[in-house]
Amino acid sequence: MFNLQYNIVLKPEKEGGYTVIVPSLPGCVSYGKKLTTYKYMLLLKYYKFVG
């Protein structure tokens, strides 16, 4: 097993919550209402992206 590290960009939204972008994985974008939620949502997107 190995670990991969990616930089992420957290963009606060006017309506509340955060858009999360992984610049090195084009199209890997997620959203979370709380900072604790974005981690889970991003993991789901990552696994769908990498497949």
| pLDDT tens-digit map of 10-44 | 899 999 988 888 898 888 888 888 877 767 777 77
| pLDDT of the residue at 51 | 64
| pLDDT of the residue at 41 | 72
Helix H segments across 1-51?
Answer: 35-50
| pLDDT of the residue at 35 | 76
Q: Which residue has the higher pLDDT, 31 or 51?
A: 31
| pLDDT of the residue at 12 | 92
| pLDDT of the residue at 25 | 84
**Neighbouring residues of 8: CB distance < 8 A, sequence distance ≥ 6:** 20, 21, 22, 42
C-alpha atoms less than 13 angstroms from C-alpha of 22 in its C-beta half-sphere: 21
